[in-house]
Amino acid sequence: MYIEINLLPQEFRPKRSKLSLNFKALLVLVLICGAVGLGGYYYYLNFQYKSQVSELNALKQQQILLQGAVELNNKAAELKARVSERIEVIKELTQDSDLRFEMLRHINRIMPENLWLISLTENDQGNGVYYTIEGMSYTKAGISSFLDGLNEFEHFTEVSLEAITPSPMEIQDAYQYVVQVKLDTYTPPVVADASVKKK
């Protein structure tokens, strides 16, 4: 076994550094710190990426919900427009039904004996609603009385005898007549506003 002994005096001996540096260990330490730093930065970027993806998915879901709400709103508006259109049609068909019913009741009430109706036709001529009444009577006096009764109806603005022709029958001679009347346009009743206070 070989033992090295330094016989030089203390003052002549080479001075040693108090701290010895191991460059390999230092390099490994630097590499480890770099790897840890890069790993942490990668984890941070991955976390940010996942957060952005999650936020983007949430925005897409909100967009889908908003599109559904917009489509539903458009369908509701379209349905509302159709309902309003149908309501207006129903109003036009029924707003003057009472007036027509009153007219038919009056015609039925004024019909004299030995006079009857064959047809009652409604004609909308733009400037008003006209009715063509066709029928038969055994006497001209019955037709004249029927015309007088039609003139008594306050909602007829025009009453005219369009034609009267003999129409012989097996039992008794008769006359066929055509009468045209003009019906007043329907005017909805004015409803007083309840918010207006009486003076």
Residues 130 and 79 in one domain: no
**CA–CA separation, 34 and 40 (whole Å):** 10
Residue with tokens 């540096």: 21
What letters, b where the CB count within 10 A reaches 16 and e where it falls short, cover 37-62?
eeeeeeeeeeeeeeeeeeeeeeeeee
pLDDT for position 88: 65
Tell me which of 44 and 22 has the higher pLDDT.
44
Tell me, yes or no, whether 3 lies in a domain: no
Q: Which domain holds residue 38?
A: 26-95
pLDDT for position 95: 57
Please tell me whether residue 180 adopts helix, strand or coil conformation: strand
- pLDDT tens profile 91-122: 555 556 778 888 889 999 999 988 999 999 98
**CA–CA separation, 61 and 79 (whole Å):** 27
Residues 178 and 112 in one domain: yes
Q: What is the pTM of this model?
A: 0.47
Residues 101 and 89 in one domain: no
Using only C-alpha atoms, what is the Rg of the chain? 53
Order of strands across the sheet with 129-137?
A: 115-124, 129-137, 175-183, 156-166
What mean pLDDT is predicted for residues 41-56? Answer: 86
What mean pLDDT is predicted for residues 137-146? Answer: 92
- pLDDT tens profile 159-188: 999 999 998 776 778 899 999 999 886 554
Whether the Cβ atoms of residue 129 and residue 180 lie closer than 8 Å to each other: no
Give the domain CATH number at 144: 3.30.70.2830
